[in-house]
Amino acid sequence: MGEGGIAPLFLASILRPVGTTGVQTHANETVLYLRSVDQPTELVTPYSDPSWLRTPTFGLRRVIDLFHRPSGVRWYRHWHGVFLEGALRARLHNLGPAVVYAQSPEAAQAALGARHAGQAVVMAAHSGESLAPGWIRSGHLRPGDSADRVIRRQEQSIISQLDGLVYVSDFVRRRMETSYPAATRVPSAVIPGFADIPPPPPNPQDPIRDLITIGWMDDNKNHRFLIDVVARARTSGRDVTLTVVGGGPDHARLLGHARELGVDDLLEFTGRVENAANLIPLHSLYVHAARVESLGIALVEALGHARPILAPAVGGIPEIFTDGIEGLVWKTDDVAGATQLMLTLLGDHERRSLMGFAARETFERRFAKAVVAPRLTTFLLEASARRGRQAG
């Protein structure tokens, strides 16, 4: 047990501790909150293992990828799991009751291998689907091949052994329970991502740019649509600026597309930025075009910064804002209609102000760290108590 009889809590992730993905943001925000309320907490990743073998082992995957990508996937999953399990085992072996809050099935598998009686493993379900489709979309696996099937079988087994599941949206819960029936038998809660947004400045400045989007640049995020909207606006006589924050494999392709359309002068690609949400108040609207989205922490941050949202009604996005209240729903298969919607809202300062006030109110009521994080803490510690009773 930790100080004062509190079960220590470890967040486990196979990702690097610092990054721009929603998983990394969730993990780091959770750690910061738990430490602020004196809950003994540590973020543990494969990079927490001090072995000198870690760097060459991880690096060898790039060589394997050159010859056989599915083998590269197996190498990545296996060795990241090995080093994460080792790092967790080093922290858990002398402890009694404890909780591991795993950020993926791979992290949960490592935690299940490292724990002993009385130690709970709870998994955050960030997408509700298998990790295999992500590897398929990146071209590393083919649908239905042996590696795809192995990943899905492993995930079924992992989920059945969990002490709890945290879904970031009801959309993710429904998706998960459809794909993995075992999930319906695991204690669970829908607890959205949260953020800690500073209070509005006493003398806020007017936005200096028009649109901003934050996220990994890949096909799912559909940044191409946003560039098409900017180009359509220019042809209608209005230059609209767009700031794209984040890295990703589509950067060069998107920049080339903007140049082809003659709007590269209106775009700013910032790359990865620390505390990217701080850029949101410098813009009039937060825009989003993902084909599917589990929740979207950047949209939550936009609410906190009192900025109206333009986004499609896909995945968990309808759980974040209401069309016409905190923002507007646009259709990503209708560039002309979306452009007109965006231009109308940009030109209506009063409506944007009203939406901004509503956005901030929704954030404070439903997504502020002070509101959401205590629910997560309670669920995790209840899982620890259940595990302790079962072990006893």
Pick the CATH number of 209-366 from 3.40.190.10, 3.40.1710.10, 3.40.50.10190, 3.40.50.2000: 3.40.50.2000
pTM above 0.85, yes or no: yes
Q: pLDDT tens, 348-375?
A: 999 999 999 999 999 999 999 999 999 9
Extents of the domains making up the chain: 3-194+369-391, 209-366
Rounded to whole angstroms, the Cα distance separating 71 from 61 reads 9
pLDDT confidence of residue 20: 67
φ/ψ of residue 290, rounded to 5: -60, 145
pLDDT confidence of residue 389: 84
Largest CA distance in the chain: 72
Same fold, 3-194+369-391 and 209-366: yes
Cα dihedral 328, 332, 334, 336 in deg (nearest 10) = 70
Rounded to whole angstroms, the Cα distance separating 98 from 83 reads 20
Residues with Cβ < 8 Å from 134, sequence gap 6 or more? none
CB 251 within 8 A of CB 224: no
Q: pLDDT tens, 54-97?
A: 999 999 999 999 999 999 999 999 999 999 999 999 999 989 99
Q: What is the CATH number of domain 3-194+369-391?
A: 3.40.50.2000
CB 221 within 8 A of CB 255: no
pLDDT confidence of residue 61: 92
Q: What is the pLDDT along the chain (392 residues), one digit of tens a residue?
A: 444 447 899 999 999 888 767 788 889 889 999 999 999 999 999 999 888 899 999 999 999 999 999 999 999 999 999 999 999 999 999 899 999 999 999 999 999 999 998 899 999 999 888 888 888 888 889 998 888 899 999 999 999 999 999 999 999 999 999 999 999 999 999 999 898 876 666 566 677 899 999 998 988 899 999 999 999 999 999 999 999 999 888 999 999 999 999 999 999 999 988 888 999 999 999 999 999 999 889 999 999 999 999 999 999 999 999 999 999 999 999 999 999 999 999 999 999 999 999 999 999 999 999 999 999 999 999 999 999 888 76
Copy the structure tokens of residue 312.
């499609």
Q: How far is CA 232 from CA 92, 112, 340, 360, 371, in A?
A: 57, 52, 9, 30, 41
What b/e sequence results for 25-54 when a residue is b if at least 16 CB atoms lie within 10 Å of its CB, and e otherwise? bbbbbbbebbeeeebbbbbbbbbbbeeeeb
